[in-house]
Amino acid sequence: MSGWSGRILDIDLSIQTYRTYPLDMEMARLFIGGRGLGARLLWDMVGPEVDPLSPENVLIFANGPLTGTGYQTSNRFSVSTKSPLTGTVLDANSGGFWGMQFKKAGYDVLIVRGRARQPVWIEIKNDAISFHDASELWGMRVFALTEKLGQNNNKRNVLCIGPAGENLSRIASIMNDRERALARGGTGAVMGSKNLKAIVIEGKDRPAIDDPGQFKFLLYETRKLLAANPLTSQAFPEFGTVVLMNIMNNIGALATRNHQQTQFEGAEAISGEELTEKYLVKNSACWACPIACTRVTKTDKVEGEGPEFESTWAFGAQCGIDDLPAIIEANSLCNDLGLDTISAGSTIACAMELSEKGYMDSDLRFGRADQLASTVEAMAYRRDIGSDLADGSLRLGAKYGHPELSMSAKGMEMPAYDPRGMQGQGLLYATSNRGGCHMRGNMVGLEVLGLPMMIDRFQVQGKSSYVVLHQNVSAAIDSLVVCKFTNLGVADEYFARVLSAVTGIKYATGDMVKAGERIWNLEKLYNLREGFGRKDDTLPPRLLNEAPTEGPSQGWVVQLEPMLKEYYRGRGWDENGVPTAKKLAELELTNLSEQVIAAK
């Protein structure tokens, strides 16, 4: 067995026992690992009858055949579950070190099911699995807990939830290696619902590689490509992801004040240039990553990783706040409490708009940097106003009679890119299987940055083909699992060659992208089985009806309908967005679709 470990560890917290069994290798060939394998296993385990916060939901942690091999950025892993935020299929993936350690422990997949009677934490040392009482750890924040449980980057790695997950916030994240996050969709709430505080892993076995000579050659080639590429060798290390702030603002596609505007007058003050000049301490990197995009920053109050672009935007432009130290501190607080920064920031922005318009009785106002930290704290503990905000902006808006003010798709808060200035991004958000998300493909490369080429960001016709390709490739990369930033310097073809060298199974580039398409269609089937349909492939009314009144995107709304029709056709789906029998047969998914038909 090469690449894959070939084993699943299946833990039932209700009876605090576990079993191991072989990975179905035909399933692995078709769905690779990570997100794809997680979605396929979730399909069998969690149906429409399951409440996401009930013991019947599962957490499926999955690494991929490349994880832990030492290939550049092969540190990542994912968790799949039914989302308590959206009700859709969910996977979230993270970097750092835990994924590598998980692979070294000798498992491809860790399934956690049931619910412990009392808080527990799990320790995994290859075949030695132990359950520990976590009663005294319950309530601890992430940074202190990670240290207490013995985090040691290359030897022993801690994954845990903070108070937000314990309090079942539907925007709670699972944290690993202190400041890495399986951030989106409420993964932390699912873990909290199981009374599971932490999973600590020590592994000792490096994964086997089928063709070490070829693998070594590809490592060498990838190193050269990443070093020669100006993005992976200069742009990321020098300015980090926050460098996008100024360009998104310049082109009028930076969502501002809950998407009421598309340019923020304070963008320069929260830019990557400002962060680098005034608050950067050093860069840091995940395991086996030569890019080192992570920024360690410091203010008078906190020092730690981040914030990334999306977090800076969520607490910055989206809340009308140009106070960078306050943003850095809110980001750090989210990491310590275990909250998704994008959803937290955008939910606060939604509350600010509800309050300013008199729909909600609170003193939250756009631009009030002094309110950020206290509001984040209140959300994690469900205190005072935080109890209204803890479950995301859609539930908040609905409670106060204005769900349309939630800037979300399928209930997940969208990231920074305002799609009125990027038509393809609008289609991406609307069709993303886990909701408003920029990690299921991202059109910023093609529509703004000219990577690998520039296309007209306002163009509608023909845009769907790019979206489909990006979605399929992202599903494949999320299943290997490597970091998408590697793909800026290394073509898809390399990933297929590395996958072949590691596993011994010959994957052409097309095979790998086809696997991505298979995974996307499987996720779509999952959502259809849950009752989602064409009506859910949409965006907030503001983005469809309210054009910006100034700036470079003035006069534009998202032209979703024609793009969506074209997208469904391009995917081989019918006019309601249901995959056709022909498409499913092509993707070897026919047997699953029969369950969707039966459910209807």
Partner 1 sequence: MATVKLFANLRKLAGTKELSITGTTVRAVVNELAERSSEVGSVILENGNLRPHFIVTLNGRNILDLDTAVTEQDTIAIFPPLAGG
Residue ranges binding partner 1 (CB under 8 A): 230-231, 234-236, 238-244, 246-247, 250-252, 272-273, 308-310, 438-439, 442, 444-445, 448-451, 454, 457, 484-485, 488, 551-553
Nearer to partner 1, 180 or 514 (CB): 180
The smaller minimum CB distance to partner 1, of residues 106 and 421, is found at 421
Phi–psi pair at 415, nearest 5 degrees: -80, -160
CA–chain centroid gap for 56, Å, is 23
Its sign, for the CA torsion 490, 496, 501, 502, is positive
CA distance 302 to 568: 47
User: Measured between alpha carbons, how far is 492 from 504 in angstroms, rounded to an integer?
Assistant: 18
Q: Which is nearer to partner 1, 231 or 544 (CB)?
A: 231
Nearer to partner 1, 102 or 417 (CB): 417
Nearest to partner 1 of 554, 580 (CB atom): 554
Q: Which is nearer to partner 1, 133 or 273 (CB)?
A: 273
**Least distance between partner 1 and beta carbon 304 (Å):** 19
What is the nearest approach in angstroms of partner 1 to the Cβ of residue 535? Answer: 29
Helix axes 492-503, 212-228, angle to 10 degrees: 160
Pair type for strands 412-413 and 408-409: antiparallel
d(CA 31, CA 541): 36
To the nearest whole angstrom, how small is the minimum distance from the Cβ of residue 230 to partner 1?
5
User: 109: part of which helix (H) or strand (E)?
Assistant: strand 109-113
Q: What's the closest the beta carbon of residue 474 comes to partner 1, in angstroms?
A: 11
**CA angle, residues 520, 393, 58, in degrees to nearest 5:** 45
Give Cα 411 distance to the centre of its chain: 14
DSSP string, 275-289: HHHHTEEEEE--TT-
- Which lies closer to partner 1 via its Cβ, residue 51 or residue 550? 550
CA distance 177 to 286: 10
What does the alpha-carbon distance between residue 200 and residue 270 come to, in Å, rounded to a whole number? Answer: 36
Q: How far is the CB of 183 from partner 1 (least distance, A)?
A: 13
Nearest approach, Cβ of 367 to partner 1 (angstroms)? 23
DSSP string, 557-598: ---HHHHHHHHHHHHTB-TTS-B-HHHHHHTT-HHHHHHHHH
Q: Cβ 467 to partner 1, closest distance in Å?
A: 16
Q: Which is nearer to partner 1, 308 or 340 (CB)?
A: 308
Strand-by-strand arrangement of the 196-202 sheet: 128-133, 120-125, 196-202, 157-160, 174-176, 180-182
- CB nearer to partner 1: give 266 or 272: 272
- Are the CB atoms for 236 and 292 separated by under 8 Å? yes
Report residue 250 as tokens.
């310049």
Minimum Å gap between C-beta 444 and partner 1 is: 7
196-202 vs 120-125, strand pairing mode:
parallel
Q: How far is the CB of 157 from partner 1 (least distance, A)?
A: 24
Nearer Cβ to partner 1 (247/302): 247
Least distance to partner 1, CB of residue 47, Å:
33
* Residue 81: CB minimum distance to partner 1, A: 23
The DSSP code sequence of 37-79 is HHHHHHHHH--TT--TTSTTS-EEEE--TTTTS-STTTT-EEE
Q: Tell me if 144 sits within 8 A of 91, measured CB to CB.
A: no
Whole-number Å distance between alpha carbons of 589 and 579: 10
CB of 442 to partner 1, least distance (A): 6
* Contact indicator for 232, 238 with CB cutoff of 8 Å: no
Nearer to partner 1, 550 or 594 (CB): 550
The label of the residue with tokens 């209140």 reads 378
Nearest one of 349, 341, 322 to 257, comparing CA atoms? 349
How far apart are alpha carbons 364 and 373 in whole angstroms? 12
User: Which residue, among 283, 302, 304, 280, has the nearest Cα to 294 in the 3D structure?
Assistant: 283
**Nearer of residues 77 and 236 to partner 1, judged by Cβ:** 236
Residue with Cβ nearer partner 1 (192 or 240): 240
Residue 371, token pair as written in the block: 């309110």
Q: How far is the CB of 263 from partner 1 (least distance, A)?
A: 8
CB of 231 to partner 1, least distance (A): 5
Give CA angle at 92 (233, 296), nearest 5°. 40
Nearer to partner 1, 244 or 321 (CB): 244
Could you tell me which of 365, 295, 291 has the C-alpha nearest to residue 331?
A: 295
Which residue's entry shows tokens 């932390």? 188
